[in-house]
Structure 1
């Protein structure tokens, strides 16, 4: 069996069936009738009674997607017929099927409730976002769906819970409340199966088990019918993608309010209003640090406190982690939270795991590029420099950068220009030493340095301006600073100065 056929790549039943179709083509594309004959022959030799032999139509169904409860015995018999008894290949397919079914079973485990969580973390800042949400979901906002999107740890869920509780307290919700944790980032298991989520929602809406339809579309239709004339609140936390979200939207139920959180940029869905959730402002960052650590812990050393918030890139999760560390370690002076110790503490406290969950959802090309971006100073960079760094066409580099931006692991700062948040850059620095061989790292550095040298030579008549500190300036030590010591990084052609390293 060629290496191009790899059932281990399958993560869902539909992906497994897609691999099975490829196997059929590799085996010479035998007819369903021929495959059925081979299965009958094998089962006859194994002594299985004729009453258990599958019909031709049943064998044909093995190649159809959308099946929730596959006959695993028959699927493996079909594989056996296609690989003509190759036990090594059959073992690989058997293992892949077990993994897929395990994922499916885990995806069917759903956390759905008829109320919002009672505990709410403190919400610092976000006044502007709350006002926008109130306007969209208030008296005239029924039937609207608000999407809170942003990077890992930006505080999307906390904001969503506050929005939901405000709607309930204001008497805007007179119907049922439905809340589901959809596990889009994959921290606590695979993304929740929307078919299973709908089953839980229908039960919460009073539908008995014998009245719940089997298929996804039928469940979604009944769900929307039951919500059509209610002033319900639907909260969908940590959405994976459009396919997971689409059947869970109330649809034409114009009296419902829906609040969605996601790390992804969702496209192709009508009726969604997106509210990006950025990092905090400097003053909000200081307030969050003071709230978690305690006002006395920060004392009067405002300069050190501001430096800490700057080094953390005003990231809510990282600020909360460091604030807890300050509260629990009174012997640490503020001056001790500097550079590497600060970043390491934030990573160890949970930022690494949160970023890794987003990283794991990326396609291979974007994941590798994220690591290579650690070789560039924490500075705005353009798509041409990225193409040189990754040794790939500009179009490919742009596509991978856009994938990172859609996952909120990179930020577009101008046409063709991008930057990484401080913590994302620190995460990439950790991963590149693990995932890339030293020889590849040296080659990538040579390529991007040569790119800048050539650019400087081509523009020698118009020297590049010196870099000036700006928003997001990063005094954190850069591991590859020595290689970049003599490199002048360019500013954007639109007149905005690139951020300082």
Structure 2
């Protein structure tokens, strides 16, 4: 199995809008160990005082927080660069941020700008495992293979690793990569017409390896497929598309624990030898969450792994609701029909590890047939996990996200009524709910 830990800070050159750039800044904060806004403000002002800036021009915590807010038409470029410098003081990296802030790519019309890369993204140095999946992708049985799984499970990292291995044997004349933005947090999905002409020109009857990342549907994919014999396309999508698939699951517990330990080898374990296992459990063994945790561990000098495990267990949902996780999950949630959204929120109220259509119907206040259809929709989006015998489960991080949405969107009286209906279905006995 695989986890891809970030080999470096987020690249602002990939931003297509101001919201994208803010997303990079949020990612940099997590990569740098998630320091508090007070700490960032203090670092900025220490540098500015040393440069002779007067007291009335120093940064305030509130203006620093504003740098991390999406939905803005303009930003304070000087302050944003100062925030970046407080998080990662590296000259070349700061230059990339200054260029991104000047670049028209973060202005209007970003949705219309789509690029086809003539090379794959760099392979992540921290990638490991997923041997069975890589073996299947090395000898694909179809000209199109879809890598699917829940948000944050490592689909793109696997596609890139498999693509580099396939390209290395020289069987392809050209290798291309395109991001279809199927679940981008701020930009719309790419329309095939935006890429069709450029792909046709570059493919031109050549044997091609094409990697299409983050597809929302086969409608996006079909017009873009190469037609030359010997060509191969890898697609990543969080949806189960009607094509041969390689399905990714969260990491096994022991593998998640080992890989987390490898990611932070210089950090002392502390008093609890099971600290890595506890953190992996808090992360639900999800690669994205483990990567965020590793960044936080590496960024806090003097903390042991036990300290981090204690912190997460004091407020386990905190990691789940870190913006890196919430940003990954929310694009899937917002595409759901209202009743499917409501069911996902209500499922966070279920006390058991698994549930079926009867329990879902009680929580939603509908009939089991309708509830089953919504469960299938949620499973198709990888927001619930299928179990044998028409049973389903919520990943721990999806449960925390759904609970947060429920508190934000549902009236307390409606949540109480849903609990009451579930109680009436199951009774007060010890048997498992629904």
Q: Give, in angstroms, the shift of residue 312 of structure 1.
A: 1.8
Q: 1:136-179: CA deviations, max 9, x gaps?
A: 1xxxx6x6211100000000000100001111222232x11121
Q: 1:119 to 1:274 in 2, by over 3 A?
A: closer
Indicate the residue corresponding to 1:286 in structure 2: 257
Matches within 5 A, 1:72-471: 107-120=111-124, 122-136=126-140, 144-173=143-172, 175-203=173-201, 205=202, 226-227=204-205, 230-250=206-226, 252-267=227-242, 272-298=243-269, 301-333=272-304, 334=306, 335-453=309-427
Q: Give, in angstroms, the shift of residue 292 of structure 1.
A: 2.6
Q: Give, in angstroms, the shift of residue 301 of structure 1.
A: 4.4
Q: Give, in angstroms, the shift of residue 346 of structure 1.
A: 4.3
If the length of structure 1 is used for normalisation, what is the TM-score?
0.61
Q: 1:400-440: CA deviations, max 9, x gaps?
A: 00000000000110232100100000001111000001111
Whether the 8 Å CA contact 1:297–1:327 is kept in 2: the answer is no
Q: Distance in 1 between matches of 2:406 and 2:230?
A: 49
Whether the 8 Å CA contact 2:174–2:209 is kept in 1: the answer is yes
Q: Distance in 2 between matches of 1:441 and 1:148?
A: 36
Gaps of 5+ in 2: 1-107
Higher relative contact order (Cα pairs below 8 Å, separated by 6+ residues): 2
Q: Distance in 2 between matches of 1:151 and 1:184?
A: 14
Q: 1:329 to 1:341 in 2, by over 3 A?
A: farther
Q: Distance in 1 between matches of 2:370 and 2:314?
A: 33
Q: Give, in angstroms, the shift of residue 114 of structure 1.
A: 1.1
Gaps of 5+ in 1: 1-103, 206-222, 454-485, 493-501
Q: Distance in 2 between matches of 1:128 and 1:310?
A: 24
Q: Give, in angstroms, the shift of residue 448 of structure 1.
A: 0.6
Q: Give, in angstroms, the shift of residue 487 of structure 1.
A: 4.9
Q: 1:95-151: CA deviations, max 9, x gaps?
A: xxxxxxxxx966532132111113525213211111111121xxxx6x621110000
Structure 2 counterpart SS, 1:189: coil
Q: Distance in 2 between matches of 1:307 and 1:155?
A: 21
Structure 1 counterpart SS, 2:250: coil
If the length of structure 2 is used for normalisation, what is the TM-score?
0.70
Structure 1 counterpart SS, 2:244: strand
Q: 1:385 to 1:345 in 2, by over 3 A?
A: closer
Q: 1:433 to 1:487 in 2, by over 3 A?
A: farther
Largest Rg, 1 or 2: 1
Q: Distance in 2 between matches of 1:121 and 1:432?
A: 38
Q: Distance in 1 between matches of 2:298 and 2:117?
A: 34
